[in-house]
Structure 1
Amino acid sequence: MGFFSKKVTYPELAADTQAAKQLNAIEGSLKELIGQISDPLEVIPADGHAYVFIGKPPKRFGMAMIDDGVHSLGAAAKENGIDQIQLLKINEKLREAYLQCQDAPRYTTSVAGRDLVITPSPQLAQEVSEITHSIYT
C-alpha cells in the first residue's frame, strides 16, 4: 500500500454476528445488486432489509434499499413523484447522517466475489430509514 493510498482495511465480519445473519437474509438480492453495480458498496444491515451506499460516501454516492429485491433511491423517488429538488435535499440529509456515524465500526465481507464494507450501525439504519421513508413506502 502506497504512502498516499486511501484504501482502508477493516476487520472481517464474523459469521456469528447479527449483521452477518441480516446479510444472509437478503443475500440473493444483494448478489443481484453486485451483478449490476461495479462501484464500491457499503451495506447497512437492518431488520428484514438493508440500505446500501453506492460509490464513495459522503461525497459522491447513490443509495439503494434491499429486501426481497433491489430498490434504487432514484427510481423509487421517480415512482413516488419526488422531484429533483426534493431528491437533492434527501441526498444531503443522507450525507449528514453518514457523517454523523462516521466513527461507527465497519467490517468487510465477501459476497459473490466482491469485498463489501458492512456498517452494522442501528443509528445509521434508523436515520436512513427516517430520511427515505417517504420514498420507500
Structure 2
Amino acid sequence: IVPTEAGYKHIGKILLLSDLKDIEQTSPVDAIKNVLDVTKAELYILNVTNNIDKAAESEGKQQLESLLANYTPSFHFMTNSDFGAAVDSFVKDREIDMVIVVPKKQGIFESIFSVNHTKTLAFHSKVPLMAIKH
C-alpha cells in the first residue's frame, strides 16, 4: 500500500514489525530476504510490547536475529498503548522508507475483541506498507 502523499523515493531503511511470537512458523523470512536483497536497505525490527525486558530476551528475537543475521538487523522495543502512534513515531524519528508487516490470522474471538494492527497501519501510514503473508 502506497499512501498518496508518498512520492517516489529510494528505499534505504525498512522497518519490519514483529510480535516475536512463533517466528519460524509465521515469518516469511525468504520473502523478507528477497526485499532486502533487491533494495539493499538497512533493516530495523520493531516490537511494540508491554514488557520490553521480556521481549528483548525472547526466543523469538533470537530466532529472528539468527534467520536475518546476514542483514545485520537493528532491534528496537517500545511500550505504547497506541500501536499506530508507536509505529508512526518510530518511522518519523528514524526516517524509515517502508514498513513490512506480517498479518496473522485471527480467531473469531480475537477478530471481535482485538485491534487489527495491519488495518490500522494501512489507513494511517505515511510511508509505503508491504504486507507479506506466510
* Length-normalised TM-score, structure 1: 0.30
* Length-normalised TM-score, structure 2: 0.30
Write 1 or 2 for the structure with the bigger share of strand. Answer: 1
Write 1 or 2 for the structure with the bigger share of helix. Answer: 2
